[in-house]
Chains A and B, each alone.
Chain A
Amino acid sequence: MTRKRRRLYTLLLAMTGLGVATALVLAAFQDELVFFYSPTDIAANKPAPGRAIRLGGMVEAGSVQKLPDGVTLFRVTDGVAGRPGRTVAVTYRGALPDLFREGQGVVAEGRLSGDGNFDARTILAKHDERYMPPEIARSMRQADGEQQHATGTLAK
């Protein structure tokens, strides 16, 4: 086998591999991208029911209700003190992460049901209570206009 032939084969193999990988990635992107929504986003542009999305915002103070069968109900809001925003009701079955608190940031992954209720499959926990997911920080800033937050770490 000549060097040229070998190079051709290697190149063909590499192109095939890359082509297959690209096809796989694109097909997976088509269906499996999980978009992030704040409650305001959902009100403005409702995602298709049944499509997996992420919902982020603050757990509304006084909204957490624990039912006896391990189901937790709460509301996620993007309003801040003195400026009410939109809220979405969330249903979640399972153990809550340790840093889940009222008035703190939360990201839930799940699907919107037909009645506008959000069925969370997972509540994403954080290792660090000072940490604020960048999406939430931004959507809170947007909901808040240009006004600065009192809670310093949010703005980071």
Chain B
Amino acid sequence: MIAELGQYALALALVASIAQALLSLLGAHRVDARWMAAGARASVLQALSLGVAFGTLLWSHAIDDFSVRNVAENGHRLKPMIYKLAGAWGNHEGSMLLWILVLAIFGAAVALRGRQLPATLRARVVGVQGLIGIGFVLFVVVASNPLARLFPAPFEGNDLNPILQDPALAAHPPFLYLGYVGFSVAFSFAVAALLEGRVDPAWARWVRPWTLAAWCCLTLGIALGSWWAYYELGWGGWWFWDPVENASLMPWLSGTALLHSAVVVEKRDALKSWTVLLAILTFALSLVGTFLVRSGVLSSVHAFAVDPARGVFVLVLLALTVGGALTLYAWRAPQLKLGGLFRPISREGALVLNNLLLTTACATVFVGTLYPLFLDATQGRSVSVGPPFYLRSFTPLMVALLVAMAAGPLLAWKRGDLAAALQRLWLALLALLLVASLTWYVQGGGPWLALVGFGLGAWTIAGAATDLAERVRLFRVPLSSSGARFAQLPRNAIGAALAHAGLGIAVIGMTGSALWQSERVLTMRAGDKVEIAGYALTFDGVRKVPGPNYVAERGSFEVKHGNGDAVATLTPERRFYPSQRTTTTEAAIRTTGLADLYVVIGEADGDGTVVRVWHHPFVPWIWSGAVVMVAGGLLSLADRRLRVGAPRARTSDAVVAS
């Protein structure tokens, strides 16, 4: 009965999305306030009914209603409650329902919160959001219904894939979707602006917080996913340049570019046409991501069994959405008024360079991800593009981006002085040289890429610090006066510096873990010892330990420093889940904040056990860096000026532009 209620709610949501799109768009066209208000109400109805549908799915999972096919395929009575609920979005159908729920909530949020927007712009945004909704709600209703019944109902469920039963992965899809779908708002704003034929700073002021919120969620989602891959898969890596991972990286790259170009529209009323295009492309890449993950056209290490028919459906939706938007762009963009002028060396110029580097980097990832598909279609050859490709094409662009990143914020708007900016960066340059030579000394020469990576990480962090120090005129005015200036700084300035520093921290982590990791693989018997990076691990054997829905073989390792001081006991596990007859590897990780000691046990082998031990220097910095970046984004989001959403064209920009 509950599931039927959800089915009904889904059908209602489809009708509501059609009403939302038609009433809003036609209402805006006829400038009819009643139609537009009705469209806004339809968007709320759509969000509410999808909320009910998702609620019934959660409920069915929570009470183990195996007569619902989705629950039977992914549920199990013995599963802990959090994974019963996570089971609702840990599969294709449920995750698509979550996807459209997020989409509808964003549409309703614009309708409810956007009172200060010009009425027709708001209605058009809500309408475009409704159009996307029609396509995807239809997809869920027709091709991937999560609430379909199963007859006869099985006595026990099939269980969720055990490696997905993990806290980080329970949270990973919702955040990723909040990011992907969050860019739909920027897309809708872009299309609405094209329909209106007008882009102004007030428009950017609305687009920016939405983009920023989506960007924060996407950053967090990607970080959670890579953290999960690191500790759960037991391969010791955190990024594999796999198509599914690239699918989330591409919208991140273009979303980051959008974030920066929206600043130029807001502050200087320039780059308007480009920003609109970028908003369209970012959402397009989010859809490409959904398509790649859900269609299975590419061979991925993260691939799940998929249904090709669904891929075709998503592809058609992608073509309609993006094709329509780009056609509209080609038709209307030339009518957008051109904005303010600037010299090549200026803040605007730096942001153009940022956009150029980010979009070309995104393009290299796009080519690397889709080239195998292209070659397969044209020549029938199967190839894969691995990490070495990205190291040679993507990394150089990122190096250029990092170099420019410290100088950009120090340039003035309109007309900047590069020499003066570089002069102020002397401390950052010193940090770069110091860290690079320290690296050279520590590794005794070694891979030069480590010098570049660590050096640029230090350069970026010191550059962000310099940016803030310059703003508060640190050491040039009394400290108390600097403190007062700091309190006066707009939050988005602090947020930006924080996010830049976060990237620097993450770069150090990536460099350290990629180039300095050490690994030992061996077969051990109880009492055997292995040494790695100054630690000595003594193996105490394997015991069987029961879990809630699995049986674990738990290995135990006594970890000591080289000088004999006891450090910790590490207990990696192999868990066998009888319901799916699957074994998972649970790594045991001991972190010092600077480096991780990572132990995995494999199968029993004769009278020994295969043991794999890693030492990963700086790896925790990757995720700490991501967290700092998200913190920077949230701080910017809390900026008062962003919350105002000023309907007037220009306000006190001069104060901020310093």
Our verdict on whether A and B bind, yes or no, reads yes
Chain B residues near A70 (CB-CB < 8 A): 521-523, 610
Bound together, the chains give a CA A12 to CA B304 distance in angstroms of: 44
Question: What 1/0 mask marks residues of chain A from 61 to 104 whose CB sits below 8 Å from any chain B CB?
Answer: 00000101110000000000000000000000111111100000
Residues 1 to 47 of chain A near chain B (Cβ within 8 Å): 1, 3, 6, 9-10, 13-14, 17-18, 20-21, 24-25, 27-29, 31-36
Question: Chain A interface residue count: which class?
Answer: 35 or more
Scoring B389, B396, B522 by chain A CB atoms within 10 A of each residue's CB, the highest score goes to: B389
CB-CB under 8 A from A126, the residues of chain B are 301, 303
Interface size counted on chain B using CB atoms at 8 A: 60
Q: Taking the complex as formed, is B591 at the interface, i.e. its CB lies under 8 A from any CB of chain A? A: no
Q: Given A35-B383, A95-B602, do A28 and B301 touch, yes or no (CB 8 Å)?
A: no
Contacts A28-B388, A36-B382 given; indicate if A125 touches B356 (C-beta within 8 A).
no
A147 at the interface (CB under 8 A from B): no
What is the chain A residue whose CB lies nearest that of B396? Answer: A24
**With A17-B360, A125-B301, A127-B163: A68-B352 Cβ-Cβ less than 8 Å:** no
CB of B305 within 8 A of chain A? yes
Partner of A68 from the list B301, B304, B361, B606 (CB cut-off 8 Å) is: B606
The answer to whether B352 and A135 have CB atoms under 8 Å apart is: no
CB of B521 within 8 A of CB of A95, answer yes
| One of A32, A96, A99 near B386 (C-beta < 8 A) | A32
* B contact residues around A93 at 8 Å (CB): 521
What is the minimal beta-carbon distance from B649 to any residue of chain A, in angstroms?
21
Distance from A47 Cβ to chain B, minimum over Cβ atoms (Å): 12
CB proximity of B551 to chain A, nearest CB, Å: 14
Q: Check: B15 CB closer than 8 A to any chain A CB.
A: no
Mask: chain B, 326-366; 1 = CB below 8 Å from A; 0 = not: 00000000000010011110000000110011001101100
Chain B residue nearest in CB terms to A24: B393
- Contact yes or no, B305 A131, CB < 8 A: yes
Asked if B305 and A36 make an inter-chain contact with CB atoms under 8 angstroms apart, the answer reads no
Q: How far is the CA of A153 from the CA of B303 in the complex (A)?
A: 14
Q: Is the interface of A mostly helix, strand, loop or mixed?
A: mixed
B392 interface hit (Cβ, 8 Å): yes
CA distance in complex: A138, B522 (Å): 36
A-side contacts of B582, CB under 8 Å:
98-99, 129
Q: B653: CB under 8 A from chain A?
A: no
Q: B155 on the interface (CB 8 Å rule)? A: no
A9 / chain B contacts, CB cutoff of 8 Å:
344
Centre residue among B233, B344, B368, B382 by max chain A CB count within 10 A: B382
Contacting residue for B612 out of A24, A25, A31, A95, CB 8 A: A95
The interface bits of chain A over 114-138 (1 if a CB of B lies within 8 angstroms of the residue's CB, else 0) are: 0000000000111111110111001
Closest approach, in angstroms, between the C-beta of A6 and any C-beta of chain B?
6
Asked if B357 contacts A17 (CB within 8 A), the reply is yes
In the assembled complex, which residues on chain A have CB atoms less than 8 Å from the CB atom of B233?
A: 125
**B301 partner, pick from A1, A69, A94, A124, beta carbons under 8 A:** A124
Let me know if B356 and A13 touch, CB within 8 A.
Answer: yes
- Among candidates A1, A17, A18, A95, residue contacting B600 with C-beta atoms closer than 8 Å: A95
Taking A13-B353, A135-B299 as contacts, is the C-beta distance between A96 and B364 under 8 angstroms? Answer: no
A to B contact number (C-beta, < 8 Å)? 140
Cα distance, A73 to B557, chains bound together (Å): 27
User: A98–B299 contact, CB under 8 A?
Assistant: no
State whether B299 touches A6 (Cβ < 8 A). Answer: no
Q: Does B448 have its Cβ within 8 Å of any Cβ on chain A?
A: no
Instruction: Give chain A residues whose Cβ lies under 8 Å from the Cβ of B603.
Output: 96
Residues of B near A68 (CB, < 8 A) are: 523, 605-606, 608
Q: Which residue of A lies closest to B302 (CB)?
A: A127
Across the interface, do A6 and B602 meet the contact criterion of CB distance under 8 Å? no
The answer to whether A128 touches B605, judged by C-beta atoms less than 8 angstroms apart, is no
Q: Evaluate contact between B584 and A98: CB separation under 8 angstroms.
A: yes
- Residue in chain A with minimal CB distance to B602: A95
A25 near B338 with CB under 8 A, answer: no
Asked if A60 is an interface residue, CB under 8 A from chain B, the answer is no
Which residues from A are CB-within-8-Å of B48? Answer: none
Contact B353 A21 (CB under 8 A): no
Judge whether A32 and B299 touch: CB under 8 Å.
Answer: no
Nearest opposing residue in chain B for A2, CB measure: B341
CA distance A36 to B574 in the complex (A): 31
When A25-B367, A95-B234, A126-B303 are in contact, do A69 and B522 touch as well, CB less than 8 Å?
yes
Decide: B356 and A17 in contact? CB cutoff 8 A: yes
- Which B-chain residue is minimally distant from A25 (CB atoms)? B393
Instruction: Tell me which residues across on chain B come within 8 A of A6, comparing CB atoms.
Output: 341-342, 344
In Å, the complex CA distance between A66 and B338 comes to 69
- Could you tell me which residues of chain B, from 606 to 638, have a CB within 8 Å of some CB in chain A? 606, 608, 610, 612
Residue of B nearest to A27 (CB): B392
Which residues of B line the A interface, CB within 8 A?
161, 163-164, 233-235, 296-297, 299, 301-305, 308, 338, 341-344, 352-353, 356-357, 360-361, 363-364, 367-368, 371, 381-386, 388-390, 392-393, 396-397, 521-523, 574, 582-585, 600, 602-603, 605-606, 608, 610, 612
Cβ contacts A to B, 25 pairs, < 8 Å:
A9-B344, A18-B363, A21-B361, A25-B367, A28-B393, A32-B388, A32-B389, A32-B392, A33-B385, A35-B383, A52-B386, A54-B382, A54-B384, A69-B523, A93-B521, A95-B585, A95-B610, A96-B603, A98-B582, A98-B584, A125-B235, A127-B163, A127-B303, A131-B303, A138-B382
Closest 9 CB pairs of A and B: A36-B382, A28-B392, A21-B360, A130-B305, A95-B602, A32-B389, A32-B388, A24-B393, A135-B382
